[in-house]
Structures are given as structure tokens and as C-alpha cells.
Amino acid sequence: MQELSHDDLLAKSKQLIYFRFAFAVVALCFVFLVGHFVRIDLDPLALSGTCIFVVCVNAVGYFLLKQDLLPSEKTLNGLNAVLLSGDIVAISCAVHLTKGAESDLFFLYLLPILLASNVFGRIGIFLTALFASSAYVAVLLVANWSFLPFAYVNVVPESLSAAYAHRLLGQIVSRSGILFILSIVWAAFCLRMSGIDQDTKLRLEEQLRANTAKNLELRQIQSQLIHQEKMASLGRIVAGIAHELNNPINFVHGNLPYLREYFEDLKKLVASFDQIGDNPKIRVEELKREINYDFLVTDLDNIIADLNEGAERVRLIVRNLRSFSRLDEAELKEASIVDGLESTIKILSQYYGQDKIALETSYAQLPLVLCYPGKLNQVWMNLLSNAAQAVSQVPNPKVVIATELLSDWIIVSVGDNGPGIKESDQSKIFEPFFTTKPVGQGTGLGLSICHSIIERHGGQIWFESEPEKGTKFFVKIPIKAVVDLNEPGQIEPSVT
């Protein structure tokens, strides 16, 4: 049997003291009940004193443990030895007070052996068994010492004293022998069970360590997948930004050569004033015709307008990106659901826009919602990008967004006319790592994380889907969120 550590020994010592307290109280109640209702030859006061003795001894032990006055395994073992000795003394008193050699309480001597198996090793268990057996023999001998000499003195064999002495000696020897054998067998059994308990504990600890290592590995894999999901989300955002920035950048890039050419012609016109003769008006008119001055001025105005429009669109794109990510609004605050949807749509301009997926919106008049805007925008990004991918292969693709105010709740729906979700997949759609996308195009974490985000807002997310008719996702969130989404490890911002 492996030795217990200080902490384990301390914990088990306290548990055994609690057990002794309970046992003594139950025994005390039993004594009073028996003394009151069953008129037998007992001494309730003496038996009660024995129970109180156990309580007092263990109270002292509990005080020492509670005050941390036993800092080592050696001192703890000493305390347990004293408490076990007190148990054996108390049991001996109980046996003595209940007819001694004829007492049926002698089996209680097995109890200290069981208690010893919780805190001691092989030697301690068998020493406790030997001490308990010896205490029983001592009790019987002391209690019947005045009769024992009659078993050996030269008296008439048929005398009552000799007969009683012989019978008493036989009873002492037989009972002592039975208890001794029973104590040794019981000690061996308790030792065996303690060994099994220790082996089981060791196996459980090994399994726990293995599971901890496995969980750590799974957490690392999950972290990598979530990171991959973030990168995929970032890729979609970057693609949308790149697409949206392409037009205004083309405005600027396409007009710069003309602006440079027109500027050179204007410089020629201005420089020509130094070379004109006596008739400047004729020379200026010739130069105007030469550089097509009227067209140049008109086109220059158009170029400046295009450049201004391009710059304004770049500014709007940056503002939409800032609104989507809410980098400056990480705290719980009131925000507009419609603004979040609109900024997400603009970020996903590679899907939605002219000559692309038809997008219909039906917005109700909504109040501001107490929420984490950035996290909700991740939900809209996921639902809208999934809807766009669902209708990518159907003729006349269409996505419909609608909002509804229902008492203290807001319902947002995102529907598409795609092929729908297979009935066999519908029960697994929010499970982590489940995806219907081809290998390498999704990790299956997006909708699971959306579910977590909405759940942490105190809301619900569900869907309706029919084959070949499309899918509609519903998000129901309270106007006043009451849950802190910044609890560690609860939500990882990511979409699929």
C-alpha cells in the first residue's frame, strides 16, 4: 500500500473524525432509547459517558487539525494512533458495561481496524488488529479475574464454582480466539481493499493526466481551427474591401494621365504669353484651338469630380469597415441592428451589388439594442456570406433580409432561394466542426459560434429549410441584453 501524502492524510484524518462524531452521537441516542423503552440490565449513564469520551477526544483532534498544528505526516500518524487507541478503549468500556464475556458488542473491535486501513499501511493495520484483540482479552480477564482461579485450584470437579470457572475460561478463550482470527482476516481484507482503492485512484489519476493532455491537445487544435476561421473571415472582408476599393482607385488611376496631359497643355498656354507679339488675342485663340481648350477645361472638371467621388468612396469604405469591426466599441452599448446589417452588406460587396446577387431588405422601425455590436456583426457576416454561397449556383439568386419588433424582442431573418439544407443535416447544423462545404472551404465553427454569441445575448437562433426552396435563418435577441459576453473562454470572434 502506497503511503499517503500529507494533504491526503490530513483530509482522511478529518473524515474519520467526522465519522467518529456521527457514530458517537448515534450510539448515545441508541443508548437512551434502549434504556427508556427496553428494560434490560444496562448502565445508560456509563455508556453515555463512553460516548462523550469519544466526542471529547476527537474534538481535541479536530482542533489540532483545524489549527494546522500537525505539519508533518509523522505527527498526523501519531494523532491517528491516539484516536484509534481512544476508540479501542471506548469499545472496551462498552463491552465491559454490557455483560463482558457475553456482550454482543465485541464485533465493534473490527471498526478501529477499518478506520486504520484508511490512514495506515500494512504494519499499522495489523498492529491495530493485534491491539484490538489484546484489549478484548484484557477486558475479559480483568472483569472475571476473581473467578478464574477456580479453574485451576484443587476443588471438587462437580462444584458449581469449578464448573462456572471452566465454562467462563472456555468462553474467554473461544471468544478471544474468534476475535483474534476475525481481526487478522478483517485486517487482511481491509488491507486488500485499501490496495485496490489506491490502485484505482492511481489509475484514475493517470487517466486524468492523460485526459488533461488530450484536452490540451484538443484545445490547441480548436484554437488553430478558430484561428483558421478568423483568417477565412478576414479573407472575405479583405476580398470585399479590395472589390469595393477597385472602382474608386480606377477613377484615380485612369484619370491621372489625362490630368497630367491637360496640366502640361495649360502650362504651355500660360508660357505662351511670354512669346506673343503685338496681337496677343490672335495668338491665344490659336493656342486654345491647338490644345482644344474648351474640351480640356470641361474634362478637367469631370476628372476632378471623379477623383473627388473616388476619394469619398474610399472614405466611406473605411468608415463601413470601422463600423463593421467596431474596433472602438468593444464594450456593451446600445447600437442599431440595421446599421450593423448595412455595414456588413457593404463589406460583402463581392456578393451583393449591381449585376450580382439580388438583395431585398425590409427593415422595421427598431429601437437601439443593448448588445456587443461587433459580435452581432460577426453573426450577420456569417449568415449573409453563407446565404450568398448557397445561391451561387442557382439561376436568379436572391437573398432577403427582414427585421421585426416583437414586444421586447427583435427578430432578424436572412433567407435565400438556394437548394436548402438536407433533412439529414438539419439536426447537426449548429454542432461544432460540422460543415456541408467541401474539404478546405470551411471548419464548421461559424454557425456554432453564432449560436454561442446569440445565446450569450440571451437570444435564440434557428432556421427553416425546404429542399429546392431555400433556407431562412432567424435571430431573436432581447432589446436589453443582460449577459456579459466578455467571460473568458466563452466566445471566440469568428465566422464561417
pLDDT of residue 304: 77
Helices 122-143 and 110-119: crossing angle in degrees, nearest 10, is 160
Per-residue cell: 452 = 454561442
pLDDT given at position 489: 35
Record the cell numbers describing residue 315, joined without a space: 472614405
Please check whether residue 6 is in contact with residue 76, taking contact to mean a CB–CB distance below 8 angstroms: yes
Q: What is the pTM of this model?
A: 0.45
Q: Strand 369-371 vs strand 398-406: parallel, antiparallel, or unpaired?
A: unpaired
**DSSP for 149-180?**
GGGTSS--TTSHHHHHHHHHHHHHHHHHHHHH
Residues belonging to the chain? 496
Name the residue with cell 465454562.
Answer: 167
CA neighbours closer than 13 Å in the CB half-sphere of residue 392: 10
Amino acid at 137: V
Residue listed under C-alpha cell 485450584: 153
Residue 90, all three cell numbers: 471506548
The whole-number pLDDT of residue 38 equals 57
412 is written with which cell numbers? 432578424
pLDDT tens-digit readout, 1-40: 556 777 888 888 899 999 988 988 888 887 777 666 655 5
Cβ-contact 426, 466 below 8 angstroms: no
- The span from the CA of 416 to the CA of 399, in Å, is 4
Q: Dig out the grid coordinates for 426 from the structure.
A: 438539419
Exposed, middle or buried, 313 (CB in 10 Å: 0-12/13-18/19+)? middle
Q: What is the pLDDT of residue 82?
A: 92
Q: Could you tell me the domains of the chain?
A: 6-216 (no CATH), 330-478 (3.30.565.10)
Written as nine digits, the cell of 201 is 485512484
**Blockwise average pLDDT, block size 10, the chain, 496 residues:** 74 90 86 65 78 90 88 88 91 84 81 89 90 89 71 55 68 84 89 81 82 78 67 65 69 74 73 64 73 77 76 70 53 86 84 85 92 86 90 90 92 93 85 66 72 89 90 92 46 35
